[in-house]
């Protein structure tokens, strides 16, 4: 911090700006130091001193301003928000919210923990054994399972282990042109796969791919067949694709593995999302390796799930790259708690009956009316799975319709509420908000409507 250029006169109010040490010695500031570390606190103090020097606040206000500012400084800058969009797996809002069980597991795993230690013998243990068991229990069709950092890591690891450097001539992965997917932020799965050496052998066309297309592509360079679920788009009209069972038969007739990326990772069929494949079905239909994300409809932490035949999962797990994509103890803990636990929040949100949502939303409208005597409309509003799959599938529900300008004001709250805007209105959908939050929600909205 540079000193002011001009000498400070005797009666200059800036002489009254409290010294850093004096502010740091205040009880409240001392407590904040314990919570945030000295450096963060010093920055706030310096900030307020310079505001006083610039005449933005009075010297006498510095201490109070520091204390007030420290209240909103957190060790982590993430701001917990309420998701009022009706989009269940909202990529920009962190995808799946964890279940209470998963949160407990995270806390238990946060310190020293026997992640790779055998308590009975005191010797080194095998990593992630209980998470693997939970995955196999949830998906008995799998002989083996491996969790890595995320779905993209799972795909890259499988492709590299089966067709990357070290696979000899067998470097080609056969994939339909209808399944060459960009998953968001400009990342393309085909480029991800090819980035470590494998080559994509494209077959078919965007709208139609036949078994004969795959057949023609197979040769001495083929390492594997790959099928990717169109998780974020649909191809409609004059279309044709080859199913897992047929592809598996073809692959096995040529002694090749079939890899299936199902995207969202459902364990069992979901009636509301009939086009969403499941890990179990994919394996039962003959896939050798199936991969999925852990934080889409599985509802757990960010993770990549690899399930399938023992020989292939082992081959993948032994590849050197597996170490670079290794799941950390927090992922393993939260994933085990999710997979082996009660229905996770994402599936709860998906299954909430429209009638129940309507009742809640009407109650919210009444609570707002009682507080500020303003009537808000309750209107039909479709939810979405979002980044988790179920592309284009509307999930019927309801929303509270409030003036459009409220959207930005709701985002500016200390606990931001993220709603959508449409046709000149702001729509508040409670599908992804825990019911116990409704009171706070009503108060927050009412307070903004009153202004």
> What is the binding site for ligand PLP (CB under 6 A)?
150-152, 155, 181, 183, 189, 228-229, 231, 261, 263, 293, 304
- For residue 230, the minimal CB distance to ligand PLP (Å) is 8
- For residue 304, the minimal CB distance to ligand PLP (Å) is 6
Q: Please say which residue, 263 or 308, places its beta carbon nearer to ligand PLP.
A: 263
By the 8 A CB rule, do 277 and 266 touch?
yes
Half-sphere exposure of 440 (CA within 13 A, CB side): 13
Rounded Cα–Cα distance for residues 103 and 190 (Å): 34
Strand partners, 201: 174
- For residue 252, the minimal CB distance to ligand PLP (Å) is 23
Rounded Cα–Cα distance for residues 251 and 259 (Å): 10
Q: Please say which residue, 265 or 397, places its beta carbon nearer to ligand PLP.
A: 265
Q: Please say which residue, 232 or 361, places its beta carbon nearer to ligand PLP.
A: 232
Q: Please say which residue, 261 or 281, places its beta carbon nearer to ligand PLP.
A: 261
Rounded Cα–Cα distance for residues 275 and 293 (Å): 17
Q: Which residue has the tokens 């020097």?
A: 53
- For residue 81, the minimal CB distance to ligand PLP (Å) is 20
Residue 327 CB neighbours (<10 A) = 24
Helices (H), 141-234: 151-163, 189-194, 211-217
Q: Please say which residue, 142 or 152, places its beta carbon nearer to ligand PLP.
A: 152
- For residue 170, the minimal CB distance to ligand PLP (Å) is 23
Question: What are the Cα distances from residue 275, in Å, to 96, 98, 263, 264, 269?
Answer: 20, 25, 12, 11, 9
Q: Please say which residue, 179 or 409, places its beta carbon nearer to ligand PLP.
A: 179
Q: Please say which residue, 17 or 152, places its beta carbon nearer to ligand PLP.
A: 152
Residue nearest to ligand PLP (CB): 151
- For residue 95, the minimal CB distance to ligand PLP (Å) is 8
Using a 10 angstrom Cβ sphere, with 0-12 exposed, 13-18 middle and 19 or more buried, the burial of residue 21 is exposed
- For residue 151, the minimal CB distance to ligand PLP (Å) is 2
Report residue 47 CA to chain centroid gap.
35
Question: Measured on CA atoms in the order 120, 123, 127, 132, is the torsion positive or negative?
Answer: negative
Nearest C-alpha neighbor of 153 from the set 334, 382, 381, 326: 326
């Amino acid at each position: 911090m540079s000193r002011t250029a001009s000498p400070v006169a005797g009666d200059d109010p800036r002489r009254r700006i409290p010294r850093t040490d004096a502010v740091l010695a205040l009880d409240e500031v001392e407590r904040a130091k314990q919570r945030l570390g000295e450096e963060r606190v010093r920055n706030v103090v310096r900030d307020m001193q310079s505001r006083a020097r610039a005449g933005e606040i009075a010297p006498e206000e510095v201490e109070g301003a520091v204390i007030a500012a420290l209240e909103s400084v957190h060790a982590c800058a993430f701001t917990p928000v309420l998701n009022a969009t009706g989009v269940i797996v909202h990529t920009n809002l962190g995808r799946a919210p964890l279940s209470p069980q998963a949160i407990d597991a995270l806390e238990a795993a946060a310190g020293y923990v026997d992640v790779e230690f055998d308590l009975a013998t005191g010797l080194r243990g095998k990593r992630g054994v209980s998470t693997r068991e939970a995955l196999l229990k949830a998906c008995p069709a799998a002989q083996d399972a491996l969790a890595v950092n995320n779905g993209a890591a799972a795909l890259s690891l499988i492709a590299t282990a089966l067709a990357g450097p070290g696979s000899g001539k067998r470097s080609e992965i056969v994939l339909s042109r209808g399944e060459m997917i960009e998953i968001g932020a400009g990342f393309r799965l085909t480029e991800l796969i090819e980035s470590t050496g494998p080559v994509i052998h494209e077959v078919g066309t965007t709208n139609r791919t036949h078994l004969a297309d795959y057949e023609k592509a197979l040769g001495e360079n083929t390492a594997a067949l790959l099928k990717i679920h169109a998780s974020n788009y649909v191809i409609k009209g004059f279309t044709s694709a080859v199913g897992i069972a047929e592809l598996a038969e073809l692959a096995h007739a040529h002694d090749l593995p079939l890899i299936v990326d199902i995207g969202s990772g459902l364990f069992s069929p979901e009636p509301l999302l009939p086009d969403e494949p499941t890990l179990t079905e994919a394996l039962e239909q003959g896939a050798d390796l199936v991969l999925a994300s852990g934080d889409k409809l599985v509802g757990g932490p960010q993770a990549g799930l690899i399930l399938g035949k023992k020989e292939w999962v082992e081959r993948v797990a032994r590849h050197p790259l597996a170490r670079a994509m290794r799941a950390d103890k927090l992922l393993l803990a939260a994933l085990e708690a999710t997979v082996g636990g009660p229905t996770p929040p994402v599936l709860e949100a998906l299954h909430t009956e429209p009638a129940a949502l309507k009742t809640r939303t009407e109650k919210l409208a009444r609570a707002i009316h009682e507080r500020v005597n303003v009537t808000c409309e309750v209107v039909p509003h479709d939810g979405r799975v979002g980044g988790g799959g179920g592309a284009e599938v509307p999930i019927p529900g309801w929303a509270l319709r409030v003036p459009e300008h409220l959207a930005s004001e709701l985002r500016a709250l200390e606990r931001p509420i993220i709603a959508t805007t449409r046709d000149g209105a702001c729509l508040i959908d409670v599908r992804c908000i825990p019911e116990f939050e409704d009171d706070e929600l009503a108060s927050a909205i009412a307070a903004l409507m009153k202004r």
